[in-house]
Structure 1
Amino acid sequence: MHFPALMHWTNNTTTSTPPDSALSEEWELVYTLVPPYIFTISALGLLFNSFVLVVFLSTRDRLTVAEIYLSNLALADFLLMCCLPFWATNILAKFNWPYGDALCKTVNSVIVVNLYVSILTLVMISVDRYLALVKTMKALWLRRTLYAKMICFILWVVGVLLSLPTLIHRKVVYIEELKTLSCILDYRHESSWKLAHQIVMNFGGFALPLLVIVFCSSNIIRSLSKRREIAFHKFSDTKATTLVYTVTLVFLLCWSPFQIFTFLDILCDLNVLEETKWYHALDIGGQVSVYLAFLNSVLNPLLYICSGQYFQKKVSNVSCIKPGHIGGLDNSTGTMDTGLKTGTVPGK
C-alpha cells in the first residue's frame, strides 16, 4: 500500500486504480466526496501555511530555534498542499492520470518527502523543548539558530533520500482491464523494494521518531513537575510546551491510521495475514486514512495562529511596522507570551 491512491495488487504491482468493485457504493462515494475535500484542504492549507511563513519570515526579529523548526514544518506542509490538486483531478478522472510520467513521479515524491520532513521536524521540536526545559544550562551551546538551520537542511536531504524508491518506481502504466493510464507504484520485478520501503516508512518514519518524542515529553513533564514543587516555573514554559504537544498529538491522530494500514499491509506481504480477507478493507481504509493524514497540514498552521499572544503580536508587527521600530517586540515580552524564546542562544 502506498499513498496517495487506492491500492490494488496484481503480480506484485501497486496500482492507483480501483479493483473490480469500482462501481460499488464505496468507490462512488470516493469519486464524489474525496475530490471536493482535497480541493478544500488544499486551498485552506496553502492559505494558512503561506500566512505562517510570511509572518515568521517577514518579522525583523531574528528567528528563534523553535520558530525555525515551525517554519520548516510549515514549508513542508505548503509543498504538500501544492501537490494535492493533481490527485483531486486524478480521482475525478477515476484514476486516469492525465499529467504524464514526470509529474507522476514528482507529485508522489514530494508527498513522501513531506511525511518524513514533518515527523523529523516534530522530533527536533520535541528535542529542542527537551534541551530548553530539561538540560537548560548544559545544552545552551547546542540551541543555536545556525545549528537549527543546518539540521533543517539535513532533514530535507534525508526526506529526499527516503523518497527515492517512490521516484524510481512511480510510473504511468496502461491498465488493460480498466482501460486507463494510471500513476502506479510498480514493484512487479522488485517486490522486495515494496516491503523494504513500507518497513522504513512504518518504523523509520513513525515508530522510532515516536519513541524519541515520548522520551522527550516524559522528561519534560517530570522536569516541569519538579519546577512547580520548588516554585521555579514560568508560565511561558507551559504555553510553549503545550503548543509542541498539541502539534505532535494532531500529527499522531492524523497519521496513525495510515501507518496502521501500512503495517497491516506489511503483515499481508509477510503472509501473517491472509490478503484475500483484508483486501477490500485495506483498499478503502488506505484511501480514507491517506486523506485524513493530509488534514494535518491544514491544522498545524491553525495551531500556531491560535497558540498565543506572541504569534498574534508578530502578525501585528508585520502589518504595522513603524519607521525606526525594529521588530516591534523585545525578547522579554516574547518570552513571557509563549516561551518560544526560552533558553534560545542567537546563532553565529
Structure 2
Amino acid sequence: MKVVGGGLLDENATYDYINYTDEDYEDHDDHDGSKHSAMLWVMVLYSAVVCVGLLGHALLLAALAQKRRPWSLSDIFVFNLGAADILLLLMLPFWIVEATQDHEWTFSNPFCKISRVVFNINFYCGIYLMVLISLNGCWSSTHRTQPCFRQKPLLTHFSCLLVWLVSLILTIPDWIFPRAEEDATQNKSMCALRYTQSDTFSLLLSRLPYHVLGFLLPAATLIICCSRMLLRVRCRSKRGILPLPLVVVFFLCWLPYNITLIVDTCLSVSRKTRNDSLKTALMVTTALGCIHACLRPLLYFCLCVNFRKWLLAVLKCATDQSKSSLWDLSVGMEVLPVQSHEQQALKEVKLEQQAQC
C-alpha cells in the first residue's frame, strides 16, 4: 500500500501521515482560497525568518571567531545551538519555493528526505542541548563546586557531539518514508511520506520516537531542572550561560506544534478523519517552530550585556577590550561599574595623601 500525504508546507509541513480520502479531495476546492491566503502569509513569514535569522547567526559566529582564547562552556553551547538553527534556515528557502509551485516538489528525491531530516534535527538538537544547558545551570545553582562540564571542556564537546549523533539516529524514519514521486491524483511531483506496510504501524514507527524520546522525556527533564533553578537561584548563579530564558522561549515556540501533533497522532491511530482546523493548526504551529530559528540571537542581544557591547562596538568600528564571557546575563554585571568607581576613588585619595606628605 502506498500512502501519499501533502507537500512540506501543505497543511502539515513536516508530518503528512494521514490518508487523503475522496471527501478530502472534494472539499479541497472549497478551501482552496483560504489555503492559498494562509500559504502566502507563511511564505512571507519564512522569508523574514530567513533574513533575520541568517543575519543574527552571522553576528554570533563573528563574535565567536573574534575570541582568541579557548572557548568557554557558553561558547560551545551557543555555537552548537546556532549550527542547528542555521541548518533549518538554509532549508527554508526550498520550502518557500515549493509553496510558490503549489506544493510541487521540483528538487531531487534525496533532497526531499534531507529537507524533512533537517527540520527534525533542528528540534532534537535544540531540546537536547537545552537539557545539557539546564543540567549545568541546575548543578551550578545547587552546588558550590563547578560542574563537570566546566572542569572538563572535552566532556562538553563530546556531549554536544553525542547530541548530534542521537538526533541523526532519531531521524531514521525520515530517511526511510519520504519520497518525491508523481502524484496521480494531483498530477504533479510531491515530496510526501509513502508507506508499504500498514498505516498504523508506519505511523507509530515514525511518530513514537519523536513524541517520547524527542519531546516528552527531554521536556520533563527541562521542567525539573528549571524548577530547581527557580527555587535555588542566587545572584552568584545568574551569570554564565542563560538557561531559563532560552528554555522558556523554546517551549513557547515548539510546545504548540508538539501538542497539535500528539492530537493528530491520536486521531490517526483511532482512524478518525482530521478536520480542517487541525490541518491549519499543524501548518501554523510548524511555522511557529521555525520562527524559533531566528530568535536566539535576539535573546542574546537583549539579555547578554557583553554581547550587546561587542555588537555596538563592531557597528561603531571600535574594539571591544572586554575579556569576560559574551554570554553573561545583564543581571550580575550591574555591580561592576560601582566597584570600579570605588577603586578609582581610593586611588585618588592615596595620591592626595602622598602629595601632602
2:121 is matched with which residue: 101, 108, 113?
Answer: 113
Equivalent residues in 2 for 1:280-299 (5 A)? 280-299=276-295
2:36 is matched with which residue: 23, 28, 41?
Answer: 28
Is residue 168 from structure 1 mapped to residue 165 from structure 2 by the alignment? no
Q: Structure 1 counterpart of 2:269, which letter?
A: L
Which position in structure 2 is the counterpart of 1:230? Answer: none
The alignment's TM-score, normalised by the length of structure 1, stands at: 0.82
Assess if the C-alpha contact under 8 Å between 2:180 and 2:192 holds in 1.
yes
Equivalent residues in 2 for 1:218-233 (5 A)? 218-224=227-233, 227=234, 233=235
Q: Structure 2 counterpart of 1:196, which letter?
A: L
The alignment's TM-score, normalised by the length of structure 2, stands at: 0.80
Which position in structure 1 is the counterpart of 2:100? Answer: 92
**Deviation string, structure 1 residues 95-127 (Cα, Å, up to 9, x no partner):** 110012121111211111111001111111111
Q: 1:247 to 1:214 in 2, by over 3 A?
A: same
Q: Structure 2 counterpart of 1:5, which letter?
A: L
Q: 1:222 to 1:179 in 2, by over 3 A?
A: same
Which position in structure 2 is the counterpart of 1:200? Answer: 209
Displacement of 1:5: 3.3
Which position in structure 1 is the counterpart of 2:272? Answer: 275
1: CA distance between counterparts of 2:324 and 2:163?
28
Q: 1:114 to 1:19 in 2, by over 3 A?
A: farther
Which position in structure 2 is the counterpart of 1:345? Answer: none
Which position in structure 2 is the counterpart of 1:244? Answer: 243
1:330 is matched with which residue: 309, 313, 323?
Answer: 323
2: CA distance between counterparts of 1:10 and 1:238?
43
In structure 2, list runs of 5 or more residues that go unmatched: 334-357
Is residue 211 from structure 1 mapped to residue 220 from structure 2 by the alignment? yes
Q: 1:317 to 1:133 in 2, by over 3 A?
A: farther
2: CA distance between counterparts of 1:336 and 1:93?
45
Displacement of 1:190: 5.0
Q: Structure 2 counterpart of 1:270, which letter?
A: V
Is residue 257 from structure 1 mapped to residue 250 from structure 2 by the alignment? no
Give secondary structure in 1 for the equivalent of 2:118: helix
1: CA distance between counterparts of 2:173 and 2:120?
10
Which position in structure 1 is the counterpart of 2:78? Answer: 70
Q: Structure 2 counterpart of 1:245, which letter?
A: L
> What is the aligned-residue RMSD (CA, Å)?
3.1
2: CA distance between counterparts of 1:285 and 1:117?
24
Is residue 79 from structure 1 mapped to residue 79 from structure 2 by the alignment? no
Q: Indicate the larger mover: 73-82 or 99-108.
A: 99-108
Which position in structure 2 is the counterpart of 1:301? Answer: 297
Which position in structure 1 is the counterpart of 2:308? Answer: 312
Q: 1:254 to 1:19 in 2, by over 3 A?
A: farther
Q: Give the number of the structure whose alpha-carbon radius of gyration is greater.
A: 2
Q: Indicate the larger mover: 114-123 or 307-316.
A: 307-316
Which position in structure 1 is the counterpart of 2:265? Answer: 266
Displacement of 1:196: 2.6
Give secondary structure in 2 for the equivalent of 1:295: helix
1: CA distance between counterparts of 2:133 and 2:268?
34
Give secondary structure in 2 for the equivalent of 1:98: coil
Q: Structure 1 counterpart of 2:289, which letter?
A: A
2: CA distance between counterparts of 1:300 and 1:333?
14
Count, aligned residues? 321
Displacement of 1:270: 2.5
2: CA distance between counterparts of 1:141 and 1:209?
19
Assess if the C-alpha contact under 8 Å between 1:304 and 1:311 holds in 2.
yes
Q: 1:120 to 1:82 in 2, by over 3 A?
A: same
Identical positions, percent: 22
Is residue 6 from structure 1 mapped to residue 2 from structure 2 by the alignment? no
Assess if the C-alpha contact under 8 Å between 1:255 and 1:293 holds in 2.
yes
Which position in structure 2 is the counterpart of 1:343? Answer: none
Q: Indicate the larger mover: 312-321 or 168-177.
A: 312-321
Give secondary structure in 1 for the equivalent of 2:88: helix
Assess if the C-alpha contact under 8 Å between 2:250 and 2:292 holds in 1.
yes
Which position in structure 2 is the counterpart of 1:152? Answer: 160
Displacement of 1:310: 1.7
2: CA distance between counterparts of 1:333 and 1:72?
16
